[in-house]
Amino acid sequence: MKDFLFSASTNSFQIEGGRSIGGRSQSIWDEFTKRNFYIPPVGKPGREIGNIEIAADFYHKYKTDARIMEKLGLNAFVYNMDWTRIYPKDENYINPEGIKFYIDFFEEFYKKGIKPIPILYHWDTPLWAEIRGGLQTDEIRLWFRNYVKTCFKYLGKYTDVWFVTDENSTFAQDAYLSDYLPPAKVSELNFAKAIHNLHMLGAIAKEEFEIAKAKGYISSKAIIGVDHDWSPPIAFSNDENDKKACEKYNDWFLELYLTPAFEGNYPKSFYDFIEKHKLDFTVSQQDLEYLKNNKLDLIGWNYYRPIFVTSSIEGYKDNDWQIPPQYVKNLDIYLVFPKSESYTKWNWLIKPDRLVSGAHELAQRYGKDYPIMILENGMGDFDNKTNELILDNDRINFLSGHLKKVLEAKEQGINFIGYSLWTYCDIFSPSGGYRKDYGLVSVDFNSPILERKPKLSYVWYKNVIKNKGKVLEFDNNTLKNELIDLLKEWNLFYK
């Protein structure tokens, strides 16, 4: 971990494919996408929920993708793994084809000098586990323990950086307080149980991580963390009530997802939530002690955008907002989107500066020595793929502006160990299906072989990695000429 990690991130159910082969069974995302399959008409808005059976077919094309990433110059690759591929039937049966796939994949990247950085669980519970209770039953702790033990044993030698879970905030709120994500078990009680069990899974993984170190499966210097999708708040006005609204927001959207993992206790807002809804749920003292005894080592941070927060929208008109304000009922605050700000084509706020102050807040809150890694930062777009050159200049501007702030924060003493952009190639997006382009590499989803092709952002990131982030802005014509030259040598081994 001496060198700064220039990485890209992706997620198994969005890229991997091979969902019904290699001994794999179904997960909650297989079931969800089949039951809710919807492709909006061309030119019409709407959430696309496409088929993930093949996705970008990383399952068959990981060697091609490893060559593409080696040419790019990555020294790390963040991958959200698939629990179901390794444990497709129950908590005891290890699928030999499933674990062999990950061994082969990790080995391939490791040989090319690209550190695999696994995230053990990202929203994709095995269907067998969900049927038996999922995150609503404490039995999931045993099931998960068996899974992580297997991962550490067989994959531990390939990497010294691990994460347990990813985006617990979005997952818990959109799957248990909303039906936007699977398993769509909407109730306050299910939400509370899910949150607590997600934290317990983190502590279990940490305990098994230390055991795996003692057995020699993992380097004694290896670290394991949790990845959080915190959008740092900005008070919409200088009004004292808006500042208090930001405090409420952080208590719920930051403290609830990091404090148990790093301090072993819950913020007051969680207990208030339990009391307010009269939930038959108690966090035991035994569980709190377990959390305290198994604290995580590393903060992963998915920074896409900050959020403006206000206590009231009285006096404003509909046309003051880019998109309608969102009322957070539990907190009695509003998340607002001022039209005066800059946004992506998917109406995501563009504001890199808040990354620096947010990083300082994390360091101040959880300790300046805690390593932090940006695990997701990227821009969803509608890339023009009709021409020979895919010129995604808006993505370059977005990424360069944010990476600049990461390096600036690092210079100011923040213990950033790496930056991993979202994402390596175009994949299935839970919010936009295959219409939402995030990748440095284009995937032709109409091609029988899902052909890969570099975009201008690929050449940009290649140059950034080569000069280790010292230069982030390049002449556009120079980049275009480099892309033209790259395409001339983009032979069958890269497609």
**Region 38-67 average pLDDT:** 93
Q: Which CATH number covers residue 150? A: 3.20.20.80
pLDDT band at 369 (very low <50, low <70, confident <90, very high): confident
pLDDT at 42: 81
pLDDT at 1: 47
Q: Is 312 a member of any domain?
A: no
Q: Is 313 a member of any domain?
A: no
Counting residues of the chain whose pLDDT is more than 90, the rounded percentage is 97
Q: Is 182 a member of any domain?
A: yes
pLDDT at 2: 66
Q: Identify the residue whose tokens are 């049927």.
A: 131
Residues forming a β-bridge with 289: none
Counting residues of the chain whose pLDDT is more than 70, the rounded percentage is 100
Task: Report pLDDT digits (tens) over 274-304.
Answer: 999 999 999 999 999 999 999 999 999 999 9
Residues forming a β-bridge with 419: 6, 374
Q: Is 315 a member of any domain?
A: no
| Token pair recorded at residue 346 | 């998917």
pLDDT at 171: 98
pLDDT at 368: 85
Q: Is 338 a member of any domain?
A: no
Q: Is 77 a member of any domain?
A: yes
**Lowest pLDDT segment from 39-48, 79-88, 294-303, 312-321:** 39-48
Task: Report pLDDT digits (tens) over 142-201.
Answer: 999 999 999 999 999 999 999 999 999 999 999 999 999 999 999 999 999 999 999 999
**Region 414-419 average pLDDT:** 98
Domain limits for position 355: 5-231+243-303+351-494
| Average pLDDT in the chain | 97
| Token pair recorded at residue 293 | 């005894």
**Region 24-40 average pLDDT:** 96
The structural domain count of the chain equals 1
pLDDT at 456: 98
Q: Is 314 a member of any domain?
A: no
**Region 430-448 average pLDDT:** 95
CA distance 116 to 154: 13
Task: Report pLDDT digits (tens) over 11-21.
Answer: 999 999 999 99
pLDDT band at 112 (very low <50, low <70, confident <90, very high): very high
